[in-house]
Structures are given as structure tokens and as C-alpha cells.
Amino acid sequence: MSDEPFLTRWSFQFGRKKEAKVEEDNAAMENQSNGNRATNGTSSTENGGRKRELAVYEQFRDQASNGTHTNGGLENGAHDIPKKPLLPPFEDAETRNLAENLCRDIIRQSQDVNWETIKGLETAKRLLKEAVVMPIKYPKYFTGLLSPWKGILLFGPPGTGKTMLAKAVATECNTTFFNISASSVVSKWRGDSEKLVKVLFELARHHAPSTVFIDEIDSVISHRGEARSEHEASRRLKTELLIQMDGLSRSNELVFVLAATNLPWELDAAMLRRLEKRILVPLPDPEARRGMFEALLPSAPDGHQVPYDVLVEKTEGYSGSDIRLVCKEAAMQPLRRLMSVLEQKQEVIPEDDLPPVGPIEVGDIDLALKNTRPSAHLHAHRYEKFNEDYGSHIVQ
């Protein structure tokens, strides 16, 4: 018993490799003897792990045979050669499975939000165009010291249009848009969170030019080391994210990180350094509020004019989300009056014979203002202080 050699890690690995080799040879001989191979875009193998490794490529071949268009795929038909594979070449099946999950966060459909839809916020829109639109349109100028911004932080009170700016980027810019949240990069398995972050940026570089939008980034990378209850996995995730963002400057691919938060003072100092531009998205000014009211409550063609000046004056301190709620509450008042009349009738009125909704009156607007209070003015002084210390300002 003592003369037998002990099993080591290397002998165990060599043994597994040898057994896997024998199984592959047996499977190859069996397929050769049968003389049939799958030609309909799927490969039939007996090993389930091998089937998982080829899942992405089988799906890509299915899309190619159907002639559908995917990100980096076909455009002119089934007989064209794909411009770029769906995934970069990864080393193992586990990494490819993580990449498959992250591919679900790629926004492929239009968000129907353009720059003109967003009222105000000219500074934020100008910087986003400098970071995403102009480098793609004029790549000759954005080289060396004039290389495009790698990261922009949008901070401000809730409901002021930070996520709407991200939707405009996804709609207007011809980039691959990754919509990332904490659930996208956090895993219960040890070590998978760091791998997800690394695979995310590998996918972004593979599909460049691309935009990585991290909503509520304060939930992902807050201050490190201050709380004793901080888990080791959380710290490793933050470190990997910082490393990947710092490594973007050494890459020639155009990968842009757009982050949004309502609590900018909770972010780590290293993350603030990597987000080169930090833009305050403030509460709408009177001109922006008037544009919102004119877009949401257009005047009726029969002469009923909405008192826009009164609305602008009485909504000081309201966010864009609050203004939308005011308009919705005002528009509901004529509908409620009509519903009360229709409910009193016993007979059922056909849908084509239903009367139209009446116009909005001044009393409806006053009642909507009483029922809707501002919700984003609590920490206004903290946002202004953070903007003075860390904010980016454009000198005209």
C-alpha cells in the first residue's frame, strides 16, 4: 500500500484529460459510422456540456439561416458572411455562459426618445454628444489629447431626466447600448461577480463603439472600507470594476461609460476620478417647465387655452416627473366628469358613439396642483454643494 504513488493534482488532471480524450474519440467514431451530421443549425452530441458550449454559435447559425438581423450579424440576407461574431472567443464554456446572460442587457429596439424630446439640460446633452456622437462622426479630430471622454456621471434629484438622457443616447447614437444594473453584475456564486464585470467590458470592446449605462451606480460601488459589514465579494466586485474602467484608456476601442445616481456623495473617490465629467441634472428651469407643459397639455383647437404662465409660476421646485404627474392629474378631471355621466346611464353605449373628453379647465389645474406636491427638493443644497466641489462646468 505504501509503494503506490499518491494521487496529486496533476495526475488527477491528466487522468481527466485522458478520459475526455477517449470519450471524444469514441463519439467521433460513432458519428463517422453513422454518417449523418446535423445540417439544420444544431449539432447533436451526447455530452451536455459540449452542447452548452456551442449554444451561442448554434443560435447564431440559426439566425444566419433565417436571414434575421442581430447585433453584429446579418443585414442583407442569409447568404452573407457575418460581419462580427456574436461573442468574442472565450477560453471556457463558463465564461461564454456569463456572456450569454449579459447579452440580454443589450438594448436593440428603439426607445423613441430623441434630443428634442428632452426639454432643457443643454449642458448634459452637449457633453453626451461630445463623448458619443462626435467621435463616431469625426474620428479624425478625437485623437491623442482630444480623445473622447471615457466616463460621464449624471447626478441630481430623482425625476429630473437622467434615465431619459440615457434613452436618448440609445436612440440617437449608433452604438451598442448595454443597460446594466446591480442585478446584471452581482451573482450569488463566489467569483462570478468579478467575472461578469470583466466579461461585460470584453463584450463592450468586442461590439465597439458601445455605451455601458450603469443606472443607480451608488448601489454597485459605494465607499470602500468604511463599513465593517462590507462583504469580501462586494469589495472584489468594486475593485474589478475600477480596474476595467481604468483599463479603458489603454484600449483603442470606443467604449463609453454612462452612470446615473441620486446619491453622488456615496460614490467611491476612485470611481469619481474615472468618471471624467460629472454633470448636475438640476430641477427644470421656467423655460424647460413651459416646454414640458406645452408638450404634455397642448391647447385645444376650439379656443380653450391652457394657462401656461400660471403653471410655470406655481411649479417652482417640481421635477420633470412631478410635472408629468400634474399634467396627468389635470387631464383626468374632464375624464372623471364624463365617467360620472356615463355611469348614470342604464343602457350600454357602443364604442363608436362615446362622447369625446371635454377640455381642461382652470379649476382642474388648481386641483391638480393641490393634489400633487414636489418630491425632489429635499436635498437640493447637497446637490449644489457636490456640484461646486466635483461638478463639471462648460464655459461658453
Domain of 319, CATH number, reads 1.10.8.60
Range with the poorest average pLDDT among 76-90, 232-246, 284-298, 365-379:
76-90
Mean pLDDT of 138-150: 86
**Which of 86, 117, 141 lies at the terminal end of a domain, its last residue?**
86
Per-residue pLDDT band for 359 (boundaries 50, 70, 90) equals confident
The secondary structure of 171-233 as a DSSP string is HHS-SEEEEE-HHHH--SSTTHHHHHHHHHHHHHHHT-SEEEEEETGGGTSB-SSS-TT--HH
What amino acid is encoded at 345 in this protein? K
Q: Tell me the whole-structure pTM to 2 decimals.
A: 0.71
Confidence at residue 4, expressed as pLDDT on a 0 to 100 scale: 54
Mean pLDDT of 249-262: 80
Taken in order 76, 78, 81, 86, the sign of the CA dihedral is positive
**Domain match, 275 and 292 both:** no
* Average pLDDT of the chain to the nearest whole number: 76
**Domain match, 118 and 151 both:** yes
Residue 310 in domain: yes
**Domain match, 48 and 179 both:** no
Confidence at residue 259, expressed as pLDDT on a 0 to 100 scale: 92
Mean pLDDT of 337-364: 84
Backbone angles phi, psi at 261, to 5 degrees: -155, 150
Looking at the predicted structure, is the pLDDT value of residue 350 above 60? yes
pLDDT tens, 13-58?
A: 444 444 444 455 555 555 544 554 444 444 444 444 443 444 444 4
Confidence at residue 155, expressed as pLDDT on a 0 to 100 scale: 93
Kindly state the cell numbers that stand for 210.
458601445
How many structural domains does the chain have? 3
**Domain match, 299 and 277 both:** no
Confidence at residue 375, expressed as pLDDT on a 0 to 100 scale: 84
Confidence at residue 324, expressed as pLDDT on a 0 to 100 scale: 92
Residue 348 in domain: yes
Contacts of 351 by beta carbon, 8 Å cutoff, 6+ apart: none
Confidence at residue 171, expressed as pLDDT on a 0 to 100 scale: 84
**Domain match, 233 and 313 both:** no
Share of the chain above pLDDT 70, in %: 74
**Domain match, 73 and 135 both:** no
Residue 254 in domain: yes
Residue 156 in domain: yes
Residue 251 in domain: yes
**Which of 263, 283, 303 lies at the terminal end of a domain, its last residue?**
283
Looking at the predicted structure, is the pLDDT value of residue 128 above 90? no
**Which of 54, 86, 118 lies at the terminal end of a domain, its last residue?**
86
**Domain match, 273 and 305 both:** no
Range with the poorest average pLDDT among 107-111, 199-203, 340-344, 365-369:
107-111
pLDDT tens, 371-386?
A: 988 887 778 888 888 9
Per-residue pLDDT band for 205 (boundaries 50, 70, 90) equals confident
Mean pLDDT of 360-365: 85
Residue 349 in domain: yes
- What CATH number does residue 179 fall under? 3.40.50.300
Residue 99 in domain: no
**Domain match, 220 and 246 both:** yes
Confidence at residue 325, expressed as pLDDT on a 0 to 100 scale: 93
Per-residue pLDDT band for 154 (boundaries 50, 70, 90) equals very high
**Domain match, 111 and 196 both:** yes
Mean pLDDT of 196-224: 86
- Give the structural domain span for 266: 107-283
Pairing of strands 176-180, 106-107: antiparallel
Confidence at residue 27, expressed as pLDDT on a 0 to 100 scale: 54
Share of the chain above pLDDT 90, in %: 8
Element (H, E) at 42: none
Confidence at residue 127, expressed as pLDDT on a 0 to 100 scale: 84
136 touches 174 (CB < 8 A): yes
Residue 95 in domain: no
- The larger pLDDT score, comparing residue 61 to residue 328, is at 328
159 touches 376 (CB < 8 A): yes
pLDDT tens, 72-126?
A: 444 444 444 445 677 878 778 888 888 888 888 888 777 788 888 888 888 888 8
- The larger pLDDT score, comparing residue 280 to residue 6, is at 280
**Domain match, 231 and 155 both:** yes
**Domain match, 132 and 238 both:** yes
**Domain match, 145 and 58 both:** no
Backbone angles phi, psi at 74, to 5 degrees: -90, 155
281 touches 164 (CB < 8 A): no
